[in-house]
Amino acid sequence: MSAAAAADSGFVPAFPERYERRLPLIRLIRTLRENSIGTWTREAFERDIIVYRFGFRPVVVANHPDLIRHVMLDNAASYERDPVGKRLLEPGLGQGLLTSEGAVWKRQRRMMAPIFQPRRLSGFAAIMTERSTALADRLSRQPSDQPVDMAREMMLLTLDIIAQTMFGADTTTDVSTVGGAMDRYQATVRPNIPDLLGLPRWVPRPSVREGQAALAGMDAIIRDLIRRRRDRAAAGGDLGGDLLGLLLAAEDDEGGSRLDDREVRDQMATFFLAGHETTATALAWIWYLLAHAPAVEAKLRAELAAVLGGRPAEYGDYDKLAYTRMVVEEAMRLYPPAHTTARLAMADDRFGDLEMPAGTNVIISPWLMHRHRLYWPQPDVFDPENFAPERVAARRRYIYLPFGAGPRICIGQGFAMIEAVLILATLAQRLHCRMVPGSIVQPVGKITLRPTPGLPMTIESRRQ
């Protein structure tokens, strides 16, 4: 263990109780609906493959990196995203990159890829730095004895950033309505009992209507934005250089087709959830971890002082902030925002001696893999040195999956990493954050892995 981790080794980052045996069915379903990471037994963090049945469906928990590669890469064409996850997301995200399959997904991926090339990211980075600096200015004036919910502050910051990058050319957009809609969606959408039991699609699922209702205000705003942009282009204007403009201008290089209004809406909703919620959650956990790890925080501050010298971080600093990136990566190991995914076998498959008939649900959980006893020497210790280059080179692939893997790896991972590093660097050199004494924070797995009930912290400015 590193010197920094050793100095802070009395701190054990929070995690839910790990049970000795599987919960009874009714309690299991109730827990899944409230906190999906709160159902795992100890053996899930110790065994490489677990097989059982849930309702009418065979289930395989894939904790073996070669099995994960098999399902997500080598034989990915034989698997689709599991129906429970799709039915949770489709009411809000429609047929976006996270929920579409087959030829539809391939076309979308081809059309989206140019939007996230490095030449685009450098322009988005300027927005990230500008908004982070504004937040640092505001929080540095915060009375040191007045608590701030840093989880909420990170949500508001990434909301501001994604709104600027998505539709910055329309400065009158009601961003709070969009953000509030996403918050209601997160609170409303949870696994349905019919889905968990594998019952047919015709069985009613109330959360579908609730999820659609939660996003009604956001949909109205997005439809209006799309209409105005198309009208402007028809009158001889441009579509704009933000994400909305890039989506409207995107062409499929295999046929030249463009996205229709519904497809643009679905991609915007997807980008909003993935580009706002996940990064904010990761940043919130970083502040929680740093508040309990003074030696790590000191090493982080030393790098920031050497590289930045007090100025805000910029796109060109990203490659120089090696330890800052390690802190971000380690936080996402302990608290992966996208904590669980699953694949449904569409045909009979086999991995070694393991038979996976069509209909098998294969669970791939970064929450399990990132804290697994077989792959990490001290899985519950906060140690950014886990991501030192020599350790990364020596580690097996497919045991660290914060952005997924295979063809469906997150298309926005470059955006997310740059955003997290620039925000952390800009804020950490100016703010000293500590947990309010007596605060208890627990990870709760909904769509993302949120710190619950929040992250109450006191803040001191480093510029006295």
* 130 Cα distance to chain centroid: 22
- Which whole-number Å values give the CA distances from 400 to 62, 364, 370, 411, in the listed order? 13, 11, 6, 17
pLDDT at 10: 77
pLDDT digits (tens, 9 = 90+) for 46-80: 999 999 988 778 999 999 999 999 999 999 999 99
Q: Using alpha carbons only, how large is the chain's radius of gyration in Å? A: 22
pLDDT at 25: 80
* 418 Cα distance to chain centroid: 14
Whole-number Å distance between alpha carbons of 402 and 365: 10
Residue 239 has pLDDT above 70, yes or no: yes
Q: How many Cα atoms occupy the beta-carbon half-sphere of 48 within 13 Å?
A: 11
Whole-number Å distance between alpha carbons of 145 and 148: 9
Sign of CA dihedral 306, 310, 314, 318: positive
**What is the pLDDT averaged over residues 210-222?**
78
Which of the two residues, 216 and 301, has the higher pLDDT score? 301
Q: Mean pLDDT for the chain? A: 89
Whole-number Å distance between alpha carbons of 451 and 430: 23
14: confidence class by pLDDT, cuts 50, 70, 90: very high
Whole-number Å distance between alpha carbons of 411 and 199: 32
pLDDT digits (tens, 9 = 90+) for 336-379: 999 999 999 999 999 999 999 999 999 999 999 999 999 999 99
Peptide bond into 453 cis (omega under 30): yes
pTM for this one? 0.92
For 343: left if phi > 0, alpha if psi spans -120 to 50, otherwise beta; the answer is beta
pLDDT at 1: 46
Question: How do strand 456-461 and strand 148-149 relate by DSSP bridges?
Answer: antiparallel
**What is the pLDDT averaged over residues 26-37?**
85
Supply 112's token pair: 């989206």
The structure tokens 């609906």 sit at: 33
For 13: left if phi > 0, alpha if psi spans -120 to 50, otherwise beta; the answer is beta
Sign of CA dihedral 86, 70, 351, 25: negative
User: Which of 258-262, 317-321, 388-392 shows the lowest mean pLDDT across its residues?
Assistant: 258-262
Q: Are 144 and 459 in contact (CB under 8 A)?
A: yes
**What is the pLDDT averaged over residues 256-279?**
87
Residue 183 has pLDDT above 90, yes or no: no
Q: Are 358 and 348 in contact (CB under 8 A)?
A: yes
The structure tokens 């045909």 sit at: 347
pLDDT at 242: 87
pLDDT digits (tens, 9 = 90+) for 395-443: 999 999 999 999 999 999 999 999 999 999 999 999 999 999 999 999 9
- Strand ranges in 280-406 using DSSP code E only, listed in sequence order: 341-345, 349-351, 354-356, 361-364
Angle subtended by helix axes 413-428 and 294-308, to nearest 10: 90
Class of domain 3-461: mainly alpha
Torsion of CA 295, 296, 302, 305, to 10 degrees: -130
Q: Residue 299: what residue type?
A: K
